[in-house]
Amino acid sequence: MIRLHDTMAREKREFVPADDKRITMYVCGPTVYGRAHIGNARPAVVFDTLSRLLRYHYPQAEVIYARNVTDVDDKIIAAAEQEGVDPSVITERFERFYLEDMGALGVAPPDIAPHATQEIPAMVAMIAELVASGNAYEAEGHVLFSVPSDPDYGALSRRDREAMVAGARVEVAPYKRDPADFVLWKPSAGGMIGWDSPWGRGRPGWHIECSAMIRAHLGETIDIHGGGLDLIFPHHENELAQSRCAHSGTPLARYWVHNGFVDMGAEKMSKSLGNIVTPEELLKRHDGETLRLALLSAHYRSPLPWTEPLVAQAKAILDRLYRLVGGAEAGEVDQGVVEALADDLNTPLALSRLGAIAEPATLKASAKLLGLLTKSSSAWFQGDTAGADVEARIAERNAAKASRDFATADRIRDELKAEGIVLEDGPGGTSWRRA
């Protein structure tokens, strides 16, 4: 039996899918205009682990895990304007980076990755339904969701009206009938990215994207809706209201699962504080599995302070497990590990049970449920020094370039390329990644 903490119920509940032959999970994915930080990687790793557990627990079922890509957004438009390029240049670049970073952390691609720009007709259709049912209205080229039209609004976040209005940080706009109303569609001026609609040329608000894509790909009610704690309000509250009103009161999700934040100990990790740690940077010094284990070392609902000792400890655990597992092939999965994961994804307990397994084949199979010990033991220990070595050779190449010895510089670049290391020269120096 799997038990999950459901944010709507505020308690752990036995997980019973609506259809045990087809299990659906949707997780809000990245808005692709910048590099992910390690806090963004936490939901990717947590829900990847949950999807592994579901696939193990329901071997006969089709588990459909959808994670969207928000590729139209005001931050994307601003980034594109700043660079003087089409928004698609920004979104394609940062989606590629996101997939590379998450792939390095052992996150499998979701089964479905719907892109907002590819799903505009589904969003327009849902907005039109909400207008027809009296749950939305048009005003000055905008379409707004009417919060007072939904008596159940606020059920997920359990906020009173005042807190909702304050929390939504709503801009005071003269066309809003109620300060809590939120945008479903907004006008796009001039050359700005936009699509034709019954309300003029424009683009969708963020919340409608998930509601429309969930319906199009998974159905009116899904089993699990996931994301970070910060999405409960307003994003998930708004998704829920839109879908419930468009579907005559049918709930959007049977279980709402939210992960906690990664912080920097005393302070929150945020761009404005300038204390962002990115997988891109961390992967130069650490193996992706080390970072994955560090992210799974706390229970997903707890805050996770990101520190160097945390990463060092994760590395030490993996060294010990890799020494034990050697070149073993996967055998039977340890039921203690399964039970720990099935209890609301208790990864700290699962890791401690993993550490107690003495049989290499059992260890290999059980670690796979957590996305760990995926390499051979020899590859793990060889990879140890690779990062430092690459940095040393980049320094050597820089010295060669500085003394105009371009033949040596090119030779070093080609040698690294042959080892699967790609160098990227930019204004801030040379960075590298594994191809």
Site residues, Zn ion (CB under 5 A) = 28, 210
Nearer to Zn ion, 28 or 124 (CB): 28
Q: What are the distances in angstroms from CA 281 to CA 167, 175, 197?
A: 33, 45, 42
Cα–Cα nearest to 13, from 3, 1, 23, 28: 3
Nearer to Zn ion, 28 or 183 (CB): 28
Cα–Cα nearest to 213, from 110, 143, 91, 122: 122
Element (H, E) at 13: strand 11-14
CB of 296 to Zn ion, least distance (A): 23
Nearer to Zn ion, 184 or 363 (CB): 184
Check whether the bond before 309 is cis (ω within 30° of 0): no
CB of 6 to Zn ion, least distance (A): 17
CB of 226 to Zn ion, least distance (A): 10
Q: Helix or strand or coil: residue 62? A: strand
Checking phi first, is residue 200 left (phi over 0); if not, alpha (psi -120 to 50) or beta?
Answer: left
CB of 210 to Zn ion, least distance (A): 3
CB of 123 to Zn ion, least distance (A): 12
Q: What are the distances in angstroms from CA 77 to CA 74, 275, 404?
A: 5, 25, 40
Nearer to Zn ion, 66 or 210 (CB): 210
Question: In this chain, which residue has its C-beta nearest to Zn ion?
Answer: 210
Nearer to Zn ion, 28 or 102 (CB): 28
Element (H, E) at 147: none
Nearer to Zn ion, 101 or 209 (CB): 209
CB of 333 to Zn ion, least distance (A): 32
Nearer to Zn ion, 185 or 306 (CB): 185
Which two three-digit tokens encode residue 202? 């424009």
Nearer to Zn ion, 210 or 390 (CB): 210
CB of 24 to Zn ion, least distance (A): 14
Residue with tokens 């400890």: 313
Write the CB contacts of 273 (distance below 8 Å, at least 6 apart in sequence).
267
CB 23 within 8 A of CB 12: no
Buried/exposed 314-330: b ≥16 CB within 10 Å, e otherwise: bbebbeebbebbeebeb
CB of 107 to Zn ion, least distance (A): 18
Write the CB contacts of 69 (distance below 8 Å, at least 6 apart in sequence).
29, 30, 32, 91, 95, 113, 114, 115, 116
